[in-house]
Structure 1
């Protein structure tokens, strides 16, 4: 079991680094923003490649790469963006990828020039322009979303949303594992965040992508299991242990308001935790 989360590479004293942030659009589409700062060298190329792989593992609807703080006078980073475009296009469904490069930088001209060779990668001057553009390309038919209050009824409402999605998309075999995972993610948000909870269920080819956003910046951790004396282990659920054992991938990413915890479910697995409700 792999967890698709790793810490972003913070900016050092020279302002060099890579950061990732998730955004949830008004239509519940998931858009990741990857920001690259500093001079392009071997270290930044490596950190950027690792961060891009992380973003693609999370499989957002779209990825915006902000290069307004990148210093690359000789456009040496071009192969990285061309490779990223090919990888994004090969995913099912494809991830919409866009670059943000100020038009006065040499890299902008170089990337625009690639369009003649059939390798066009959309380039925009500002992040806001890129957000508007990618929003128009993201289909909305394979996505259900709701906002829940942080109360005891929230996990049940989230489970019903997964059931509705599986019924609508012909994925009945994923209903049980999907309900288990979403229940634990929402329960964690209720207990530890106590803020409104945004739940999004998205079809990803033959699987489900589940995301739960809340207003707490505290990232989730898998803790050792514990129980009170005489209390069954599953009395209050098994939290992230259930997510880890049931989902194919899971992870978390910060947002401007808090965080999004996500999981991908692709096939039913036998799990020890009984489903509630």
Structure 2
């Protein structure tokens, strides 16, 4: 799998991680699918379990947890693991999710007759790892157990005139949730993500602003499967080089983490902001984040 074909991207202010879950066997794969409405992430494993697939799956799970989804479903229907050797990883992932700032539940989905299901079930008292026979059952269970969260959503046409509504929504959210220290950074980041979707996707756009224990989670969905990337300099024109990719570079340096993952109809680009990330950004460049106007688009 080439770098530009990665299933999803994770980034933080210091480093961009392209998908490292390449495997040595052609039938092995780890794929990720996000869902805007439920905020769930599904991780599907394909092929024979071995150390290479284990390493890829572990990295993908940790990466997904950084995005603070409402829950993660590990779909193991196409995983060949007759000896149940992968069981400790799913137990570990469940523990990792329980120790994230947003307490992300991790569940497993696989046939009840599979040896791995029997192994997990017989150790359920110690591992406390939920196992479901089908994806609909796992989705329903996670939705029913999800705690109430404060979440504002917008459904926008791909029109630059929608940006004032985006900034208004961020202002209302930060005021209502007593997160005014995040307002300037969140406004800049979300308007950049929406502006990018308007310019590059040109489809209907869904926006979600969600309160998290440590700050804010921002998500922008469009119906273009192409994932964003940090562009390099444009040769031959210093002015264009400075402008090219400005928006994502601003996002990249402003947030605790950001990334993109595919959906069944396009993609979601998300960002996580905490009080610490906003404070560092304001101390570094206090004059570069506009409060209510749309920044330049990448």
* Pairing 1:114–2:123 present: yes
User: Deviation at 1:13?
Assistant: 6.0
* Pairing 1:173–2:181 present: yes
The match for 2:201 is 193
- 1:223-246 deviation line (CA, Å, top 9, x unaligned): 2467x9999x77x99310110111
The match for 2:34 is 22
The match for 1:264 is 272
| Paired residues of 2:184 and 2:289 also in contact (CA < 8 A) | no
* Partner SS state of residue 220, structure 1: coil
The match for 2:100 is 91
User: Deviation at 1:12?
Assistant: 7.0
| Paired residues of 1:193 and 1:214 also in contact (CA < 8 A) | yes
| Paired residues of 1:4 and 1:54 also in contact (CA < 8 A) | no
The match for 2:248 is 240
| Paired residues of 1:5 and 1:251 also in contact (CA < 8 A) | no
Which residue among 129, 137, 149 is the counterpart of 1:129?
Answer: 137
The match for 2:18 is 6
| Paired residues of 1:215 and 1:257 also in contact (CA < 8 A) | yes
* Partner SS state of residue 253, structure 1: strand
TM-score by length of 2: 0.84
User: Deviation at 1:142?
Assistant: 1.9
| Paired residues of 2:260 and 2:269 also in contact (CA < 8 A) | yes
* Partner SS state of residue 165, structure 1: helix
* Partner SS state of residue 251, structure 2: helix
* Pairing 1:155–2:163 present: yes
TM-score by length of 1: 0.90
Structure with more of its chain in helix, by fraction: 2
Aligned residues: 271
User: Deviation at 1:4?
Assistant: 6.3
User: Where does structure 1 lack aligned partners over 5 or more consecutive residues?
Assistant: none
- The 1:132–1:49 alpha-carbon spacing in structure 2 relative to 1, beyond 3 Å, is same
What RMSD, in angstroms, separates the aligned Cα atoms of the two structures? Answer: 2.4
| Paired residues of 1:144 and 1:200 also in contact (CA < 8 A) | yes
* Pairing 1:63–2:72 present: yes
- 1:105-137 deviation line (CA, Å, top 9, x unaligned): 0111111122222x2111111111111111112
